Amino acid sequence: MKLTIRGKLSIVYTVVLFTLLTGFCIILYHAIAFSFQSKTRNELLTNAHKLSERFDNKSQTFTDLPENDFNANPLYWFRMIKPDASLYRPAPVFSVMKNTASTSKVAQSSKTEPWFYNFEEESQWFSSVVFPVNEGKQFSGWVEVVIPVTEGKRILNYIAVLMFSLGIVIVLLLFFSGRFLARKTLAPVEQIRKQVDDIYEKNLSSRITSPNPSDELGQLAGTFNLLLQRLEKAFDSQQQFIADASHELKTPLTILRTHWEKLVTQKDIPYHYRIHMQSDVDELVRLSSLINNLLLLASTKEGIFPDELPIINFSKLTHALYDDILVLAESKNQQIRVSITENILIKGDKTRIYQLLLNLADNAVKYTPQNEWIDIRLQHDNLWAEFIIKDNGIGIPEKNLPHVLERFYRIDKSRSRKTGGYGLGLAVCKTIVEAHKGRITINSGINQGTTLIVKIPLETV
């Protein structure tokens, strides 16, 4: 499983704090348990000591002992055990309690050091001390004292349950607060990511901003900006190079083309030469259109379009297109169907918009087989002028669709070999549409025909 940095941070944060908290709880629990145990042992030893002082050396027995049954002395119970494991006097309470140590076991315990043990009796807990009696430097047996400790045990259990449940709540709180903190800390990263995501070739001049330029992320944003600056420079000089080269090639090509076009019409040139020359002229025509397209693509928007575009009649341009496409489609006997809403006005460059429409029509004719149909429609769509050209042709495979608007992109050379384009037509269309603040969309599927929709803001007068 791949975790995000945010996920990793919150897990590390939770684990570290949880470990610290668990350690702290364990130490605290043991400290409380230890203080309970010391208190119990002190109490046991005090009582045992007091009782051992009642041993009378002369009579070799205990004197003045308090009562010792459940009713008379609820605080502690005791018994006196002789070195031979018999009792100095009967201890009725101990005969009721089944889990106390047997007198023979007591008789095996140390004669100098007290021995502590705990036992449970019908869900009640008790602590016991077996205390050796050495009054008058002579060993006379043991005093055993028992006190109830159920209350203390309960408190300890309660503390354990409390710590456990609080622990779960705290872990959950830690996890969510960790996530929140991680999100807060990483928010600038997301902000930078979004800004970087919005940068593409057309707005390489934009720069990334960060909330705090002097922190690590601010420095990262700074490095990005330097990279952008270098990219922008490289991109600009590349565009400039294409623009300059195309510009330099344009004039000689036009001269060449004019010469050859004149020559080809001369009757005194043998027919088979004229055939070759005509094919050269065709090649020159293709080259000039390539140069024109390159010039358009390499120029900045400001370079080719004036600031304030004039209002033009889109409907008239579409009518003109219809006339031209009829000529284009004639050789393939394609049927052209047309529906034009009159007087649709937009702000635009007439020549460029016509170039756009012609590129689309050229594709529709090229990529649609003989005897099929092509639909052309111009209509209003809210605040847009909507131009739709739909053909019944070979279509574009789904995997190629996202790329057809890129420069020099042609799908599988074999299917378009005969059509002889450069793959610049749609890139030019996209540039023109974007310069008119419009949108271009393509719907297509293999053998399902292609629909191209161009939307340009309407102009109302």
Report 263-302 residues binding ligand ATP (CB under 6 A).
none
Q: Given the complex with ligand ATP, which of 207 and 257 has the nearer CB atom?
A: 257
Residue 182 site contact among Mg ion, ligand ATP, none (CB < 5 to 8 Å, cut-off depends on kind): none
CA angle 94, 97, 102 (to 5 degrees): 65
Three-class SS state of 219:
helix
CB count within 10 Å of CB 298 equals 20
**At residue 264, what is the residue type?**
V
Instruction: Compute the least distance from the CB of residue 461 to Mg ion, in Å.
Output: 34
CA angle 265, 271, 275 (to 5 degrees): 75
Binding residue for ligand ATP, selected from 296, 426, 435, 440, defined by CB under 6 A: 426
Instruction: Work out whether 355 is an interface residue with ligand ATP (CB under 6 A).
Output: no
Which residues are CB-neighbours of 9 under 8 A, at least 6 positions away?
Answer: 178, 181, 182, 185, 186
Q: Given the complex with Mg ion, which of 141 and 425 has the nearer CB atom?
A: 425
Output the CA–CA distances (angstroms, integers) from residue 59 to 62, 63, 363, 439, in the order listed: 8, 9, 129, 118
Q: Given the complex with ligand ATP, which of 101 and 396 has the nearer CB atom?
A: 396
- DSSP 8-state secondary structure symbol assigned to residue 391: E
Backbone angles phi, psi at 295, to 5 degrees: -60, -45
Residue 336 site contact among ligand ATP, Mg ion, none (CB < 5 to 8 Å, cut-off depends on kind): none
Whole-angstrom Cα distance, residue 194 to residue 216? 18
Whole-angstrom Cα distance, residue 91 to residue 395? 106
Output the CA–CA distances (angstroms, integers) from residue 95 to 42, 86, 100, 127, 175, in the order listed: 25, 13, 9, 16, 55
**At residue 307, what is the residue type?**
D
Report 357-416 residues binding ligand ATP (CB under 6 A).
363-364, 367, 391, 393-396, 404, 409-411, 416
Whole-angstrom Cα distance, residue 388 to residue 369? 19
The 305-344 site mask, x for binding ligand ATP (CB under 6 A), equals: ----------------------------------------
Instruction: Compute the least distance from the CB of residue 322 to ligand ATP, in Å.
Output: 17
Torsion region of 437: left, alpha or beta (phi above 0 gives left; psi -120 to 50 gives alpha) = left
Residue 149 site contact among Mg ion, ligand ATP, none (CB < 5 to 8 Å, cut-off depends on kind): none
Which parts of this chain interact with Mg ion (CB under 5 A)? 363, 421, 425
Closest residue to Mg ion using C-beta atoms: 425
Strand partners, 458: 346
Instruction: Compute the least distance from the CB of residue 402 to ligand ATP, in Å.
Output: 12
Instruction: Compute the least distance from the CB of residue 419 to Mg ion, in Å.
Output: 8
Instruction: Work out whether 127 is an interface residue with ligand ATP (CB under 6 A).
Output: no
# residues near ligand ATP by CB under 6 A? 21
Q: Given the complex with ligand ATP, which of 421 and 438 has the nearer CB atom?
A: 421
Structure tokens at 169: 């709540």
Whose CA is closest to 301, among 203, 154, 401? 203
Instruction: Compute the least distance from the CB of residue 227 to ligand ATP, in Å.
Output: 31
Residue 348 site contact among ligand ATP, Mg ion, none (CB < 5 to 8 Å, cut-off depends on kind): none
Three-class SS state of 417:
coil
Q: Given the complex with ligand ATP, which of 222 and 423 has the nearer CB atom?
A: 423
Q: Given the complex with Mg ion, which of 132 and 421 has the nearer CB atom?
A: 421
Binding residue for ligand ATP, selected from 80, 431, 450, 454, defined by CB under 6 A: 450
Backbone angles phi, psi at 200, to 5 degrees: -140, -175
Report 230-249 residues binding ligand ATP (CB under 6 A).
none
Q: Given the complex with ligand ATP, which of 314 and 367 has the nearer CB atom?
A: 367
Task: Catalog residues that contact ligand ATP under the rule CB under 6 A.
Answer: 363-364, 367, 391, 393-396, 404, 409-411, 416, 421-427, 450
